[in-house]
Amino acid sequence: MRNNNPLIRFFTNIVGRIRNIFGRNIATIIFSVLFLYMAVSAVFYMTSDRIESYQVTAGPLSMNETYTGLALREESIVSCDTGGYLVYYAREGDKINANGAVYGLSATKNPEVTTRLSQEDLSKVRNSMMSFSRTFDPSRFSSTYSFKYQLEGSILQYSGVTGRSAVLPEDEDQEDSSENESPSSSSVTFGNQTICKAATDGIIRYSKDGYEGKTLDNLSKDDFDQNAYRETDLKKDRPVTAGEEIYTIVTDERWSLLIPLSEKQAVKLQDRATIRVKFLKDDMTQSGDFSIIKIDGAKYGKLDFNKGLVRYATDRFLDIELVTNTVTGLKIPLTSIVTKDFYTIPSTFANIDSETGEETFLVQVRGENGETGTKVVSPIIYATVTNPKKTLTARGEDPETPTYTYYVDKNVFAEGDAIVKEGTKSKYIVGETAALEGVYCINQGYAVFRRIDILDQNEEYAIVSRYTNYGLVRYDHIVKDASRVKEEDILY
């Protein structure tokens, strides 16, 4: 049946003519057209001048400088008074009180000790073992021996050898000799051992390195050579003789760290009295008094601390970071920064919308019949600058009430527009401009101006505030080279 619809007949004739010209393989023609379009697009993409973007990051302007410091502290080496087999009771690197047990000496390799602990003391021992087990690191197996010394020293304390009477309830033969010992004496008999105590408070080390007597007066440049540094282990698994060095004790919490400085670093730090230091060993930070001294003609920074020594008493050289770059914010390239002109309008001509709380302005307009009226304009205010307080009020303003200058986009007003102050005849003619710094944000594929407030900068980057109205936030994408883009350009 023949279709009499003229529109359908028209398209049928067109399709028929195309078939007569190109044949019946319409799909091949369509595919060829699409392929040609893709090829041309690819050529334009490869030859076009692409705009590079930059993702906004947060952090300081630059990394703080790191140094390796030489630790000086008040310490001395202690030697044993008698000979025998050693048993250690103090954990290396821990602080010990005066009269605390450090080591024991006995005539036999395996000392004979019998004691009985209360249930409360046994519970403390178990808790200590569980705590060590939870934090045990196989890569630091040597800590097991330090914990063993600490545990044995705790058992001595619980049994009354240190700080209390050394009488053992189950060993009546030792009672008389134990009672004759004063708790403050430097040694006490326990079983077949002589327990040697610390004469003063301090931190125990079982090594020496030759720096124990070093002061600023006898330091040399060679003392900072880590390649020449040698440490001697004082722990012994053989019988010792009287006068042998047994341990080192650090007797003062005050200590110093000396760092070598170049001339440039010395100039940069010369006005500093205190500096915050980050210890890379454990990422702990603390502040120290800072001064610059000279040793063998070279400049060194001297950092003085009065705490924290217990964490680093076993270290002679420490890697540190001087926290001098304290300004943080959003980091952007200097090449991204542009300036944009804005109209400036006094805040006294603004009104507050009762529903939205936004600032609005009454702009004078003229109707088609020549009558004068006003319209409400609600622009984006990019910046609010406080005006200096006035001492004289020619128009009756309250000098105690602060006034502001608003920065608004020039696209909202036209030069010469009259802004009317509500309820008065006062007018402000739009025309004065001022510039703000900013960048082009391209999150949506086109360039949008975002204001920035620069806190600090160097030769390549700037740190800007993250709390700027209509400003940037972390992970925004901005144009890296703003000279190649104009505002509202479509980039992709």
Q: Are 93 and 310 in contact (CB under 8 A)?
A: yes
pLDDT for the residue numbered 127: 75
- At residue 479, the pLDDT reads 94
- Looking at residue 15, what is its pLDDT? 59
**Res 85: pLDDT:** 86
pLDDT at 45: 60
Task: Please write down the long-range contacts of 31-36, taking CB distance under 8 Å and 24 or more positions apart.
Answer: none
List all residues 6 or more positions away from 76 whose beta carbon is below 8 Å from its beta carbon. Answer: 212, 248, 249, 251
The pLDDT value recorded for residue 358 is 87
Q: Calculate helix-pair angle for 26-47, 6-22, nearest 10 degrees.
A: 80
Task: Give the per-residue pLDDT at 92.
Answer: 82
pLDDT at 248: 93
Q: Where are the beta strands (DSSP E) in 261-334?
A: 274-279, 284-295, 298-305, 317-323, 328-333
Long-range contacts of 243-247 (CB under 8 A, 24+ apart): 243/79, 243/80, 244/79, 244/80, 244/83, 245/77, 245/78, 245/79, 245/208, 246/78, 246/79, 246/80, 246/86, 246/102, 246/103, 246/196, 247/77, 247/78, 247/90, 247/102, 247/103, 247/204, 247/205, 247/206
Exposed/middle/buried for 220, CB within 10 Å: 0-12, 13-18, 19+? exposed
Residue 357: what pLDDT? Answer: 82
- The domain ranges of the chain are 6-47, 53-60+329-492
Determine the pLDDT at residue 325.
79
pLDDT of residue 172: 36
Please give the radius of gyration of the chain, using alpha carbons only, rounded to the nearest integer: 41
Say what the pLDDT of residue 431 is. 93
Task: Give the whole-angstrom CA distance, residue 12 versus residue 176.
Answer: 127
Kindly give the confidence (pLDDT) of every residue in the chain, 492 residues in length, as a single tens digit, with 9 standing for 90 and above: 555 666 566 666 665 665 665 555 666 777 777 878 887 777 666 665 678 899 999 888 777 889 999 999 999 999 988 888 888 878 788 888 888 888 888 887 766 555 666 676 677 767 777 777 777 777 666 667 666 666 665 655 555 555 433 333 333 343 343 333 334 446 667 666 788 888 889 999 989 999 998 999 999 999 999 999 999 989 887 888 999 999 999 999 999 999 999 999 999 899 999 999 999 999 899 999 999 999 999 999 999 999 999 999 989 999 999 988 778 899 999 999 999 999 999 999 999 887 888 889 999 888 777 788 888 999 989 998 888 765 545 555 555 567 889 999 999 999 999 999 888 888 999 999 999 999 999 999 889 999 999 998 888 999 999 999 889 999 999 999 999 889 888 887
- The three-state secondary structure class of 248 is strand
